[in-house]
Structure 1
Amino acid sequence: MPDPFKFELVSPEKLLFSGDVEQVLVPGAEGDMTIMAKHAPLITTLRPGLLEIDFPGGKRQRFFAQGGFAEVIPAGLTVLAETAIDLDEMDPSELAQSIKNAEEDVADLSGEAKDKAQMTLEHLRQVQSALGA
């Protein structure tokens, strides 16, 4: 059984979670990463994706996270997300609207901005696929 560590998930509106966890899957800009106790310190930006929290005892909670960053320090992990929605509370129409907005961005933009919008669109579609929506 992995050692528990301190984790906080914060959105602009409120503190969504603060407590001990066994591991957290973070949708980092360079790819997904699993953070466990005693992980090396790091800071990464977030891409749209699933943030999965594993608790002692086997419980798992999943959030859709978009924007922001994650910081690992010896005391634990903090994720500051621009958007963080508990998937148990997520309205599929919200995700569909985010995908529609990203499709419009891809159609309207050019150059590096279009490339970034295309990556966001692909990540949102991956989340939609993972949810079976």
Structure 2
Amino acid sequence: MASKEVRKVEMNNVINFELVSPAAKLVSEAMYLVEIPGDDGAFGVASGHCSLVSSLRAGVVRLHKEQGTSDVREIFIAGGFADVTAQSCTILAEEAIDVKDLNKESLEQYLADLAEDLEMSEGAEDKKRVQAKISLTQAKLNAVSA
């Protein structure tokens, strides 16, 4: 039965896509194209892609269900890994949230609060922890502003 599913995917020119975070499986459906923020640069995955495993940076995954449409779902991920084969793409994300669910004003306020925390932080480890939160929050803000 699996071979029939694979043939069906190849014939429809789509890949089986899953996006999973520790909190939930956000997506599990067929996609025409998936744009992924790799550590070494963004890349696209479509049916027939060569197999690879890639580490991912914080950024936006863009999901295209059909060729030639402007209907694109955007999901922010806070890093993770992608496992790609010719018929499938699975992303294991540290954190994942639909970009439409991010609130620009809340992120800006949180960023301001983190800047204050950074000024008041003592020790290299504390500063490093706050700077990591600032980087992640800035990446989310960039996703909302794009």
The structure whose Rg is larger is 2
| Deviation (angstroms), 1:86 | 0.3
Counterpart of 2:145 in structure 1 is: 132
Task: Output the CA distance in 2 between the equivalents of 1:36 and 1:28.
Answer: 15
Counterpart of 1:60 in structure 2 is: 72
| Deviation (angstroms), 1:91 | 2.5
Normalising by the residue count of structure 1, what TM-score does the alignment of the two structures yield? 0.74
Task: Output the CA distance in 2 between the equivalents of 1:27 and 1:4.
Answer: 20
Q: Is the CA contact (8 Å cut-off) linking 1:48 and 1:124 kept in structure 2? A: no
| Deviation (angstroms), 1:90 | 1.5
Counterpart of 2:41 in structure 1 is: 31
Matching residue within 54, 63, 85 for 2:97:
85
Normalising by the residue count of structure 2, what TM-score does the alignment of the two structures yield? 0.68
Percentage of identical aligned residues: 28
Distance 1:130 1:44, change over 3 A: same
Distance 1:99 1:86, change over 3 A: farther
Greater strand proportion: 1
| Deviation (angstroms), 1:45 | 1.0
Aligned length: 124
Q: What is the SS of the residue equivalent to 1:48? A: strand
Q: What is the SS of the residue equivalent to 1:50? A: strand
Counterpart of 1:97 in structure 2 is: 110
Q: What is the SS of the residue equivalent to 1:47? A: strand
Q: State the one-letter code of the partner of 2:62.
A: E
| Deviation (angstroms), 1:63 | 0.8
Q: Any residues of structure 2 matched to 1:40-59 within 5 Å, and which?
A: 40-56=50-66, 58=69, 59=71
5+ residue gaps, structure 2, are 1-11
Counterpart of 2:31 in structure 1 is: 21
